[in-house]
A and B are shown apart, each in its own frame.
Chain A
Amino acid sequence: MMISYLAEQARIFVDIFAYLIPALPATLAITIAAFVLAVVLGLLVSLARLCGLVFLRWLAKAYVDILRGIPLLVQIFFIYFGLGKILHLDRFAAGVLAVGICYSAYLAEIFRSGIAAIEKGQHEAALSLGMTHFQVLRYVIFPQAARIIIPPSANEFIASLKDSSLVSIIGMRELTRAGREYYSQYFVDFQTWLAVGVLYLIMTLGLSRIVALLERKFRVHGYGVAR
């Protein structure tokens, strides 16, 4: 009796996973595309916040404050039903845009504080050697800021993986949506969500391991602190 129950459950789970796993590439695609966008935008905004022009600095700060002050879910709706209808964006594009723009604000703050954390003397020494501002950033500041920026950025990446589940709300067929579809067809609610949770967990734990390895790699070197 017990064995046949367990066998039945096992069969259900196998069925669920078989249904869910083909949706994983979509989840990963949204996350990666959105994060790449977030990094590019975040970098531009962080530099705008640090630059000499007051207007740009103000604009960038407004960008960060607004995007961090509105729930991502609302931003997804805004872009899909608002902007998306004007620009005829499909679900994937709208989803990537929404998640990417939202996360760019968080990354902009991380990048900005990482760059600002590098003490002024580094910048001055490089300038006094005749380097241009771009060269100073590229060869002196960024390599040092990277150490500070990478761990929190990697955590944002993992967070964006979880937030990609919100894109299910506009009908995008990723992991969470696949879970809802399965549930609405077969009504095994607990098992479905357990399976969905397990798959997200495998992805986030896997990424966390990679982040930990990356952090360790950057700590090696005889790398002193700038004195």
Chain B
Amino acid sequence: MQMSSENNIIVVRDVTKNFGNVRALCGVNLTVKRGAVVVIVGPSGSGKSTMLRCLNVLEKIDGGSIVIDGIPVDADSRHIHKVRTEVGMVFQSFNLFPHLTAAENVSLAPRLVRKKSQKEAEAEALALLKKVGLADKANAYPGQLSGGQMQRVAIARALAMRPRIMLFDEPTSALDPEMIGEVLAVMKDLAHEGMTMLVVTHEMGFARQVADRLLFFDEGRVVEEGPVVEVLTKPRRPRTKEFFEKVL
């Protein structure tokens, strides 16, 4: 069941965000269609992570508006709660709960928030761990897992809440190179299944293979956006050109 009939599941208008004197976001506008996979790139400090964190209200915006699946992101705690259950997030540092097993990590929120029974939540957790290729690690603690495995558990944990949107904040930046592939593979599957995804990453290969659109962020603004191949091969803004020249 869809919350709104609009095709734009994320609508961000003129969003500003300050941290003290620092202007992290200076008027961001972006819209994301249902089922789209959007990759966000840019130099560090450009505000890409901040933008992502505003979408699930880990940061409060100072100006502008955000509407997620028809729900306005404002001070209303019911709205905040609704948005957080509809939007899943995967962090650069995984943030798994170290005192719980992988399966318990995945089943905790469905039990507490969606009020699922222990058995139901466990069964779903096992199914999700199987999906990310870690069924055999269900009873392992995060301390016993590799970085790539932890991130895959983190993805399963976010998916357990059946979100409509998945946000990825540099999901592979803290991983050893050999483990990046296994995480990207899970993300690619997710994309092919039609999940709406916003991914902040430096992995251009992933962007090329899976993403619909590429957004280039710099100094708190969306400098350029468009279909992935177009932005990568024919960037229009000089800043974009400059960035890709150095990065690619």
Contact = CB atoms under 8 A, between A and B. Distances in A.
A135 B157 CA distance: 16
A121 to B, nearest CB: 4
A129 B143 contact: no
A128 B98 contact: no
A221 B141 CA distance: 8
Interface string A137-169: 001100110000000000000000000000000
Interface string B85-100: 1011101011111110
A125 interface: yes
Contact of A225 (B85, B98, B108, B158): B98
A129 B58 CA distance: 11
A131 B89 contact: no
A226 B58 contact: no
Interface residues of B, number: 31
Interface range on chain A: under 10, 10 to 19, 20 to 34, or 35 or more? 20 to 34
B113 A130 contact: yes
Contact of B112 (A122, A131, A143): A131
Given A129-B84, A139-B108, A226 B96 contact: yes
Contacts of A143: 99
A127 B91 CA distance: 13
Interface in B58-97: 58, 81, 84-85, 87-89, 91, 93-97
B97 A226 contact: yes
A226 B96 CA distance: 7
B134 interface: no
B50 interface: no
A222 B143 contact: yes
A116 B214 CA distance: 38
Contacts of B140: 222
- Of B58, B87, B99, B109, most buried by chain A (CB within 10 Å of CB) is B99
A48 to B, nearest CB: 20
A223 B143 contact: yes
A125 B109 CA distance: 10
Contacts of B157: 129
B4 interface: no
Contacts of A129: 84, 88, 108-109, 113, 157-158, 161
Contacts of A221: 141
Contact of A130 (B94, B109, B143, B144): B109
Given A128-B56, A129-B157, A224 B98 contact: yes
A122 B93 contact: no
Question: Among B98, B108, B158, which residue has the most Cβ atoms of chain A within 10 A?
Answer: B98
Nearest to A121: B95
A131 B109 contact: yes
**Which residue among A121, A128, A144, A227 has the maximum number of chain B CB atoms within 10 Å of its CB?**
A128
A221 B112 CA distance: 24
Contacts of B42: none
Interface in A30-55: none
A130 B98 contact: no
Contacts of B91: 121, 124-125
B244 to A, nearest CB: 31
B150 interface: yes
B166 to A, nearest CB: 11
A140 B96 CA distance: 10
Interface string B123-141: 0000000000000000011
Given A126-B97, A129-B161, A227-B93, 9 more contacts: A122-B97, A124-B58, A125-B96, A131-B109, A132-B81, A135-B113, A221-B141, A224-B142, A227-B150
Interface of B: 56, 58, 81, 84-85, 87-89, 91, 93-99, 108-109, 112-113, 140-144, 147, 150, 154, 157-158, 161
10 contacts: A125-B96, A125-B154, A128-B87, A129-B109, A130-B161, A135-B113, A139-B112, A140-B108, A144-B97, A222-B143
Interface of A: 121-122, 124-132, 135, 139-140, 143-144, 221-227
